[in-house]
Structure 1
């Protein structure tokens, strides 16, 4: 087998009787009779060959003019042509029986599906057929996180030290959404993300403020925007500056404005 091709060969050894027949057709009656007598005396084809090769006209006549016509080797070549199915062909196969699909065909099918619920169904079916299909498990986990229906069980068999970063991050998010903080912390240790020496963040938030002045309590709400410049010294040590601009309700200040 070579690159999807299978070669077979078969060599056929013609009997000396065929040589005798050809020589008779060429009117070489005496020479043909000599070969026929050898065939009658020797039933073993190897012994016949030894006797024929001793004939005085073997090289100039038999070997030169007749044997080349009897040499025949048959070759058989089997080959397969593979091609990638089109999206329509994959979908047709899926409608017939989704268990016929390969991992790649499942991947191509759910990636082309625009409806999120249908896409999730296809990914679940892919995992049913191929439980070790990590890409489908990761994509389904990400889709469920976006739908606020996180399922930590999907990536639990895959997350860990040797898992891709995307798998570990999605598993951390799924675990946090389910309140499984201890397990989330264990998976987070395998994340390869490291903060850069300097990073710039845009900040936006809502404020709830309480104030007390002259024995009077009051509260109010506001909003703010900011820009944080952060310098990282180690994995657990950093320094940042974060100028903010915000607005708040007048009553929080408890003074005329």
Structure 2
């Protein structure tokens, strides 16, 4: 089971950038609560269940301005309708998936800008796990909300897209600044670590990371966020040299 992170407290509305807090959902999902420090504007990414998000919003007086969806799977969108009805938040998500999402107030396509108060973000289309999957990249701090495209030490299953699409998507994400914080949708790092060790057993950076991950999980602590620099050094899917290798790795992982 995921363990909640320390209770979020409202920002003092000083300075710039985003405060980011994890909201554990179900057995291994995360939604992400974002508050723009300058304006107090609040967003949530991938609220698969409304009740834990409502609880996390309580210190903010229940305020929610924007709901950001990465893809259409139920464990990422299940609470969106209820939260919008409760708070009046605008709902943003991939335009390509409008037919299988709650009605979007803000349909988004690749390269569009999205803002949370004064915090500027960019939409990155990342087909592979699903065809309409998008990610959100914000500048301050450099933070990537990548749903089920890129995981800590892993990547999403190919439910709809091709290995070539996922390879291209992962490398679009890999081109972001190395200090970028990686906020994915699941606490899969420990199980992903076992597979990574099986395919890359002599990688010293991976060996160190696995030790760190095991220690964190033994203490019921989250392993998310990661960083892109760490993923580049240790994630076998991000290190795959071509789409054929990625396809082989993903097929092996599916039955690992």
Q: TM-score, normalised by structure 2?
A: 0.16
Higher relative contact order (CA 8 A, sep 6+): 2
Q: TM-score, normalised by structure 1?
A: 0.16
Q: Which has the larger Rg?
A: 1
